[in-house]
Chain A
């Protein structure tokens, strides 16, 4: 049961990457770094103003959106335009991830940070089973985000343009939309999700700068498993991962559950790189 809840949360974390990597093919390895940044923002606001983390997450969406747009501009001018994406783009984002992590380390130290909210530590009980709010709320928010993103992508003009640009940017240009601008908006959106995802993360448990690294594997595993470019696939894959991790923890011991997600990644890459719902 907890696996499904965690899965919902994983979906929240991965959504942005689904868009950035799945649709735009930007290998943003720094994605988890931004999630952690979001967590710290939530922490700071919680500590100074007592703001509920989810509120902070929502509040900072525009800020992160701006960050995303700026980052994309740098990425684009430096790389995509000159056509040398893969190697250096990858290294670039790795560098960004590293910088974010170390900057947080310098600013806040290595101690774990937690937030306080009324609903942490409480659970509601259905019969014998107790469900912690701490897990339930991030899951619900995660599901909501998935739904929202799905709607944006399929119903709005920008959303459909984003999907189009990943398939055929020439045609898009002919239709009068600027593909670069579209990609910029999409990437900004992707980073914006990390604001909320980060808030959820620190709700679930204490955060310190280097835990981003554990999530790199998880989010990429989910994106690959779910299929590149499929939001629904991301959700399914997140749930699958959450459940598998939970089961492994219970039966084989939690030591192995983290390795499991990476293992899944390796297996999927070897066997069916397009994932479950991929194109």
Chain B
């Protein structure tokens, strides 16, 4: 019974959010909510590799776009239903993670990070030259009609992303608490020592990159239906890399809660800013906050809360 508590809570969250969203009564909630939830997935995914294992991935966009383009290609070719597209997107991005991991994880962490940057650029060039998915000019896609009980395709996308978010958080929590998580933490703290103690570092790292990539790809799959136009510049946008990095850093990298906190805070702030002050000062703030947190509050908000908790108890 104890093992299934998380499952029930997860379902509870989904239903609660759904009901609340319906109550609010306008469709804007679905769009804004979709974006925030998408970042929950991305931040959580990033954190599996970044926070748990200590390997910084600058190429979130590559994995995200892998999901986007796989879903796009499949949708155009065989009109597959969305759940299948999500799975396919996740699988291809996961494979990408495996591949890049295999190539570079035997080197130091720093080289892995640089390689992820390179990956983004190379993939973007490939996407720009692949005429089937529109090449540089991109391709417009028409959404399918919504099915019951959803009134609206936007609501459907929102729920899909909600389910993805809950699922990825549960996965991250599971990883964190399992022997895999302990192994990853050992790698993060001191890779050489971990090796000496017999931790199968390479395999664990590969697992982390694959899982991370898998989640990122899944979050990208509904993108073609959400926006309607897929083109390389926006699919590979730097925003994804910066946000998926900043959110866990701000929220807290050592636990599964941190990315959620970061995603909600930063994501909401950005959504609000888009429709209020709407300027690039918004981006500047992200950068400054990120640097501030990295310097002053390396454990993120979760860490701050923990420290406060400890102080109170002492």
**Residues in chain A within 8 A of chain B (CB atoms):** 27, 29, 74, 78, 84, 86-88, 90-92, 94-96, 98-99, 102-103, 105-106, 210, 213-214, 216-217, 220-221, 224, 255-256, 258-259, 262-263, 265-266, 269-270, 273
Contact = CB atoms under 8 A, between A and B. Distances in A.
B304 to A, nearest CB: 16
Nearest to A265: B118
A86 B294 contact: no
B110 interface: yes
B245 A91 contact: yes
A102 B109 CA distance: 27
Contacts of A269: 103-104, 107, 111, 114-115
Contacts of B294: 78, 88, 91-92, 95
Interface of B: 50, 54-56, 58, 103-104, 107-111, 113-115, 117-119, 121-122, 125-126, 128-129, 188, 238, 242, 245-246, 249, 280-281, 283-284, 286-288, 290-291, 294-295, 298
A248 B58 CA distance: 26
Contacts of A95: 246, 287-288, 290-291, 294
A99 B284 contact: yes
A75 to B, nearest CB: 9
A12 B144 CA distance: 53
Contacts of B188: 87
A221 B121 CA distance: 13
A95 B243 CA distance: 11
A240 to B, nearest CB: 17
A98 B129 contact: no
The 7 A-B residue pairs whose C-beta atoms are closest, nearest first, are: A262-B118, A95-B291, A259-B125, A99-B287, A98-B287, A95-B290, A102-B284
Given A92-B294, A106-B281, A273-B111, 12 more contacts: A88-B298, A90-B56, A91-B245, A92-B295, A95-B246, A99-B288, A210-B238, A255-B128, A255-B129, A259-B126, A262-B119, A269-B115
A270 B56 CA distance: 18
B54 A87 contact: yes
B110 A98 contact: no
B298 A86 contact: no
18 contacts: A27-B110, A29-B58, A84-B298, A86-B108, A91-B294, A92-B294, A92-B295, A94-B58, A95-B246, A99-B284, A102-B287, A213-B238, A216-B117, A224-B111, A263-B118, A265-B115, A266-B115, A269-B111
